[in-house]
Amino acid sequence: MKEVRIEKPFNLVMKVVDIDDVTPSFQMDIDIKASNAHGSFTFKDSRWIQCSEWDAFTYNLSRLILGEKRILCDVNRDFQLSIQKLNKEEYFIEFVNARTDVTGKKVQFSVSDVIDRDALVSISNAFEDFPRWWHMLMVRIGH
């Protein structure tokens, strides 16, 4: 199954549900569950992500330099998952999703936390283990 699963600092599951080899991009169902002392929150939606965005986000994710920030966005830029190195041992992770409907009403969901190096490596491994079928497609068409 083509998916990414993260358990800390919040539960995140991203599953591929459709592929577009022409763009190239893929659609993912995104499911996030987060909780704190004030309650729990759940977010579910579906987003299209360009393969090049995925590659840029995941490239050497576990080797961020101080101040560097990686952002994974959907094609409409409504969804963002970002990770930034704060100092030698701490990283800031944030998920933000915002949508505006045709009437102009905006709904936004976000969750963030500070994580340590071990959590970053675990997250990085989850993304690196994700199959990248588009790399083989590019080789076949000569790019």
Q: What is the pLDDT along the chain (143 residues), one digit of tens a residue?
A: 599 999 999 999 999 999 998 889 999 999 999 998 999 999 999 999 999 999 999 999 999 999 999 999 999 999 999 999 999 999 999 999 998 889 999 889 899 999 999 999 999 999 999 999 888 755 454 55
pLDDT of amino acid 90: 97
Which one-letter amino acid corresponds to residue 102?
A: V
Which are the contacts of 116, defined by CB distance < 8 A and separation ≥ 6?
A: 89, 90, 91
Domains of the chain: 3-140 (2.30.31)
Could you give phi then psi for residue 2, rounded to 5 degrees? -85, 100
Record the tokens describing residue 39, joined without a space. Answer: 């309650």
pLDDT of amino acid 27: 97
Q: CA-to-CA distance for 80 and 82, rounded, in angstroms?
A: 6
Closest among 19, 30, 40, 13 to 132, alpha carbons compared:
19
pLDDT of amino acid 84: 97
Contacts from 62-68 at CB under 8 Å and sequence distance 24+? 62/120, 62/121, 62/124, 62/125, 64/91, 64/120
DSSP calls for 7-39: -SSSEEEEEEEEEETTTTEEEEEEEEEEEETTE
pLDDT of amino acid 137: 59
CA 104, distance to chain mean position in Å, is: 26
pLDDT of amino acid 14: 97
Predicted TM-score (pTM) of this structure:
0.88
pLDDT of amino acid 133: 87
pLDDT of amino acid 135: 80
24 neighbors 50 (Cβ within 8 angstroms): yes
